[in-house]
Amino acid sequence: MITRISRSVILGALVAAGMTACSDQGTPATNDTDKDNMKTTLAAPDRKLVPNDKSKQVKQLQKDLHEIGYKIEETGKYDDNTKQAVKDFQTQNDEMAATGEYDSVTRKWLKKALNDNFEVKPGKGLLSQNISKSEDKTITVHNPADLHVLVNKNHALPDGYEPKNLVAPNVRFPFTEDLPKRYMQKPAAKALEEMFKAADKDGVELFGQSGYRSYERQVAVFGNNVKTMGEKEANQVSARPGQSEHQTGLTMDVTSAAVDFRLDQDFGETKEGKWVKDHAYEYGFIIRYPKGKEAITKYEYEPWHLRYIGKTAAKTIHDQNLTLEEYLGAVE
């Protein structure tokens, strides 16, 4: 975030000092009418606006977006171009979900941008980082090391990708071997340690079960599922090689003694599962495949599968009951 002195602050300082800029003809460069126009430009609509709305408020939003660099027409109708501009703006700060709808959080950051307290780079948001909208086309992401990388059935990791900063978090596991699945990227591992300590204080005993998984290991996992349950069912409960979040090193499956350390939907009904649902976001984790969102994630409900994305984004997703796809604006 870059903070700069706003135009209104500069103007106020000049007026207070009795200084006014004049044109060659001696006419003040900023008169009362100009000030009123500036106030109008920096209004930022104060109510929620959604696609297909048509009003003066929408026109004001379009004017504001144009002011910070988005090339859209001020038609007064919340059309597709306006929606895409809003989504791109939203992806430039973790606190906003890229829904394409103008809400109170978006207004907060739009006001900051209009007053030069938040730098915006139109077209440079997360939507430019290979967020596809196709239901049947898989692309290879070019930001595999990004904290918010989207990996799913439509977004695959590059061939041979392996995170570089893998460490084993100091948490409980129901096994003693030093296996690759103990490991996570360092920031995620540290956050997991903090979450486990907090759970312990609340009398909740969590166990890590499966973290990092290489491409080769995912080949074996998916292949075994295909053999035992068929390809269609396997595709609902496991990822194809290259499409698994476990390969990013940002994921950990957690479990408890209450479910015999299995990765089972029953975990969501246990004391441990309920604690995870209520508190994981406080440490930067989300339940990646929540109940009721199967049509979006394309996976069955997995209360054990935690994905690290950082505290700010995790809080937004938790508070608004979103999936990562919805947060990133990858759902139409």
> Is the pLDDT at 10 greater than 60, yes or no?
no
Does 97 map to a domain? yes
> Is the pLDDT at 209 greater than 80, yes or no?
yes
* Band (134; pLDDT cuts 50, 70, 90): low
What is the pLDDT averaged over residues 292-297?
96
What is the pLDDT averaged over residues 61-90?
95
For residue 228, give its domain range.
131-328
Does 213 map to a domain? yes
> Is the pLDDT at 25 greater than 90, yes or no?
no
DSSP three-state, residue 210: strand
Does 1 map to a domain? no
Does 162 map to a domain? yes
> Is the pLDDT at 276 greater than 60, yes or no?
yes
Predicted local confidence at residue 7, as pLDDT: 35
Whether residues 141 and 260 share a domain: the answer is yes
> Is the pLDDT at 8 greater than 60, yes or no?
no
Helix axes 80-90, 56-67, angle to 10 degrees: 50
To the question of pTM greater than 0.95 for the whole model, the response is no
Domain count, the chain: 2
Supply the residues annotated as catalytic.
Answer: 302
Residue pair 132/332 in contact by the 8 Å Cβ criterion: no
**Residue with structure tokens 């606190």?**
95
Whether residues 171 and 209 share a domain: the answer is yes
CA distances from 131 to 88, 127, 142, 154, 295 (A): 11, 5, 10, 9, 18
Q: DSSP code of 102?
A: B
Residue pair 53/59 in contact by the 8 Å Cβ criterion: no
For β-strands 285-289 and 207-210, DSSP reports them as unpaired
Share above pLDDT 70 across residues of the chain, in percent, rounded to a whole number: 78
Predicted local confidence at residue 35, as pLDDT: 43
Predicted local confidence at residue 5, as pLDDT: 36
More confident residue, 43 or 127: 43
